[in-house]
Structure 1
Amino acid sequence: MSDSKQDQALSFEQAMEKLEGIVGRLESGDVPLETAIELFQEGMELSRLCGGKLEQVERRIETLLERGAGLATEPFDALPDDRGEAR
């Protein structure tokens, strides 16, 4: 199983890639039950991580749209788990 602090450091793309790999392994049906449960749990954590990152991006876009022409005059307050990617 993965370490959630380590997963928090993943970019959205890295987390999606890991999630896709987990889904592929689970869909193959060639994993023991205990391993499948661990993979499922890791996949759920990655899914929540990706969802959270998407919500952050959505809030940034909404903020930019609300500001209109004043895009560069007001800095965005980063959330604690925001690594400042894609700014």
Structure 2
Amino acid sequence: MAKSTRSRVGEFEKSLKELETIVEKMEAGDQPLETSLKDFERGMELARQCRDSLQKAELRVQELLEKADDAHDKSSEDEGS
């Protein structure tokens, strides 16, 4: 795995962990309203970051699958000649 890919995965996991922590704190209901609002705002930002990371990962998987299909098709054509 390339260094930048590992970095993105690490960032995704870090963001997801922070988001889970925020959700747990908010579900407990022990914090003041202002703190909950700040946590909610941060949670929305983290959710957006995670969604963007997942979309990029999905596109990358699609690209890899297309390359694999192209290589397979080319190899099949070569064998058929």
Give me the TM-score of the superposition, normalised by structure 2.
0.72
Q: Which runs of 5+ in 1 are unaligned?
A: 1-9, 72-87
Task: Say which one has the larger Rg.
Answer: 2
Q: Distance in 2 between matches of 1:14 and 1:70?
A: 35
Could you give the per-residue CA deviations for residues 28-58 of structure 1, whole angstroms, max 9, x where no partner exists?
Answer: 0001000000000000000000000000100
Amino acid at match of 2:26: L
Aligned residues: 63
Q: Which runs of 4+ in 1 moved over 4 A?
A: none
Percent identity (aligned): 42
Instruction: Give unmatched runs, 5+ long, in structure 2.
Output: 1-9, 72-81
Match of 2:42 in 1: 42
> What residue is the counterpart of 1:75 in the other structure?
none
Residue correspondence of structure 1 range 48-59 to structure 2 within 5 A = 48-59=48-59
Which structure: greater helix fraction? Answer: 2
Partner residue in 2 for 1:33: 33
